[in-house]
Amino acid sequence: MRQAGDDENRRLQSYPADLDPKMQTATIQTHKQRAQLYFEQLQDVICGKLESLDGKARFAEDAWQHPEGGGGRTRVIQNGAVFEKGGVNTSAVSGTLTELLAQRLNVEPQQFFATGISLVIHPDSPMIPTVHANFRYLELENSDAWFGGGADLTPSYLFEDDARYFHSVWKQACDQHDKQYYSKFKKWCDEYFFIKHRKEARGIGGIFFDYLKGDFERLFAFVQTCGNSFLDAYVPIVERRKSEQWGEHEQYWQLLRRGRYAEFNLVYDRGTLFGLETKGRVESILMSLPPLARWDYNIQPKQGSREAQLIDLLRQPKEWV
């Protein structure tokens, strides 16, 4: 993908307005078509901005086909000036729910359609947090349908002003649609991104929601506001922290924290389990894993250190805004 120039950067800064007109196109009539188009447009915008922010690496794209129907676009950036590895993926697939997956969703086995965008960014610097976001729409043969998604931040070293800022962006996005959303979805995020066998959170949270059913237009508008808020939530943090100094000690701690990240994604993450269970493309599903990680035995951070302070915080959710 090409470097974003001045004209492109101006367009990216106003991307919510750019995405709206095509949503009204008469040729895009079904709910699943509209959701798919939005996620694909959002992928273009996010990739363009992240390339511009990195300044060195470009996203490589793989288009793939699902064995039962549909497919997706996997875009991965690696070995950049800022981002060591990251993926911004979209998919729109159809197939048949397995017995196991139908049981997890509390429905009968049947045909399904699922579309969404999923991204994970692992920066090179331990001072820049890993970020994850995912927004999706699922429609069943029996006409049941819902939205899900969210975004969360996983720092190796905590900067509290970054945490407050990240949460404030998501609270503002939620408040535009329902004043109860942020507190509800923040709590859900804290509970969901929790590594039970470690008794600690994966990171400092954000928002998480699933099974949002009902008025499609109202819920789709909310999901678009969230999708359009991702760059606002993350890019300023990267810009603030990319000049922070770090060395071997900080990198070692980062690799240990990445091990925790991998544990959650492989053991608990619903998206990983759904993708593998529905015969999704393995390379695309596992792009969320960091390029390097460590699992050294029984590492205990020094009392009073920044590392110990992070662990203490991850064991008890905090209200940031």
pLDDT tens-place string over residues 203-255: 999 999 999 999 999 999 999 999 999 999 999 999 999 999 999 999 999 99
16-40: average pLDDT:
70
Known catalytic residues are 132
| Cα 47 versus chain centre, distance | 13
Q: What percent of the chain has pLDDT over 90?
A: 79
Alpha-carbon distance 118 to 230, whole Å?
12
Chain segment 140-153, per-residue pLDDT in tens: 998 899 999 999 99
pLDDT of residue 1: 38
Read off the pLDDT band of 273 (50, 70, 90).
Answer: confident
Chain segment 61-101, per-residue pLDDT in tens: 999 999 899 999 999 999 999 999 999 999 999 999 888 88
Chain segment 96-127, per-residue pLDDT in tens: 988 888 888 888 899 999 999 999 999 999 99
What is the rounded average pLDDT for all residues in the chain?
90
Alpha-carbon torsion 294, 295, 300, 304, what sign?
positive
pLDDT of residue 247: 98
Cα Dmax for the chain = 62
Entry pTM: 0.89
Q: Which domains does the chain have, with CATH numbers?
A: 6-314 (3.40.1500.10)
Non-local CB neighbours of 110 within 8 Å, separated by 6+ positions? 96, 97, 102, 140, 141, 142
